[in-house]
Amino acid sequence: MSDLWSAPVATRPLSWEMRVPGSKSMTNRAYILAALADGPSTITGALKSRDTELMEAALQAMGIGVEHDGDTVHITPGPLHGASIDCGLAGTVMRFLPPLAALADGPVHVDGDKQAYARPMGAILGGLRDLGVDVDGDSLPFDLRSSQVPEGGEVTIDASGSSQFVSGLLLSAPRYRKGITVRHEGGPLPSLPHIEMTLAMLEDAGVRVESGENRWTVHPGPIAAREWKIEPDLSNATPFLAAAAVAGGTVAIQDWPDSTTQPGDEIRAILSEMGVEVSRADGSVAVHGGGALQGIERDMGPIGELTPTVAALCALAETPSKLYGIAHLRGHETDRLKALAAEINGLGGKVTELDDGLYIEPAPLQGGTWHTYHDHRMATAGAIIGLRVEGVEVENIATTAKTLPGFADLWTEMLEAK
């Protein structure tokens, strides 16, 4: 098959330092806030990937000015009008844009990749209906329109499928006449750090917010035009740090923020729990590998996006691991729990799929095809295992362009560095 990538095996300890591109989560939140601001804004350090390009194109289709000048993106708000927009497979686009599109003067048709049709959307579309928006459909594709600026107010949703349902409603809430209060009722709320990121960025734009247990209020008012400086994407950094843990040697990530709401920051604690040395100096975080990996037992609910990286490490550990609290991963780009179990077991692993997680036992692995299901994090997980297991062929490594274009070249460059 022409779309198979032979994952390179590490033949010596690594010695590599890099700066990863900007955070997808922060970039697409900044796009929404800049599009609704009371004047032109700039975004520096923005990620350039399929997900962020889809966000740009959707905003432009609705009347927002987007211009690139080197590393800076200039956003000029304008009257929002009806349009047809494409979400691809991007959760931040399909969940963040509908509340903004409800502010448009005209109907908005929202579509995406066929695989995205199965991704949960009912919570946010039902929430918009409760706020007075006319929505036709409960999943992609759907149509929405408002006869006037939506009144807003309080809405109760089940956000156990994705924290993006909460963030999507809150990001556009200042432009609703009464703002929006979101109450979550349902199963455990995943990825709380991403909601904290949303609230922090709203406050940075001068918006008044309040939060309590499973309840968040964003008050109506202006969104300040400003310069957004995007942090490096720490979740995209995790495969490279994991590489040092697997292959030995040292990998350092530059410009690691002193404090952050990004879930990727938790990789430092996870690697330490697995017996790997992690250090911090001069604004960089470095991982020093070489020893045997130890299994862990961990609630991954708040940091579910790290699960593919951590599962790959656990598959190479010498003691069992249990990763739990991540039932919501079944509604991501693919059913990540099912996919991880199938692919690790396909290489000879011993993974038991739990209702809300994975139980991973030590087992000798051999080469074979690693399917990615058009999921960027499945692709990087295969690359991690391939560092130690010869003959791992990763299907469609190009899917990593969703959040990290050029991943395969960076990975090879890391392994060849001296």
Q: What is the pLDDT of residues 122-149, one digit of tens each?
A: 999 999 999 999 999 999 999 999 989 9
pTM for the model stands at 0.93
Give pLDDT, residue 1: 43
Mean pLDDT score, 161-177: 97
CATH (residue range 24-219): 3.65.10.10
Q: How far apart are the first and last CA of the chain?
A: 32
119 is annotated as contributing to ligand binding: yes
In this predicted model, what pLDDT tens digit does every residue of 66-78 receive, in sequence order?
Answer: 999 999 999 999 9
Going by pLDDT thresholds of 50, 70 and 90, the confidence category of residue 2 is: low
SS3 content of the chain, % helix, strand, coil (to 5): 40, 25, 35
235 marked among binding-site residues: no
Same topology, domains 4-21+232-416 and 24-219? Answer is yes
Note the pLDDT of residue 333: 78
328 is in an annotated binding site: no
Percent of the chain predicted with pLDDT > 90? 98
Q: What is the largest CA-CA distance in the chain?
A: 63
The Cα 226–Cα 43 span in angstroms is 9
> How many percent of the chain have pLDDT more than 70?
100
For residues 317 and 275, is the Cβ–Cβ distance under 8 A? no
Q: Which of 122, 99, 90 is nearest to 24 (CA)?
A: 90
pLDDT of residue 331: 84
CA dihedral sign of residues 279, 237, 382, 349 = positive
Query: Measured at the alpha carbon of residue 119, what is the angle toward residues 113 and 122, in degrees to the nearest 5?
Result: 120
Consecutive H or E run containing 268: helix 267-273
Question: How far is C-alpha 132 from the chain's CA centre?
Answer: 29
Contact 167, 195 (CB under 8 A): yes
Active-site hit among 305, 333, 393, 395: 305
305 has catalytic annotation:
yes
Give the start-to-end residue ranges of the domains of the chain. Answer: 4-21+232-416, 24-219
Q: What pLDDT digit, counting tens, does each position of 277-324 carry?
A: 999 999 999 999 999 999 999 999 999 999 999 999 999 999 999 999
* Phi then psi dihedrals of residue 25, to 5 deg: -60, -45
49 is in an annotated binding site: no
Mean pLDDT in the chain?
Answer: 96
Give the CATH number of domain 4-21+232-416. 3.65.10.10
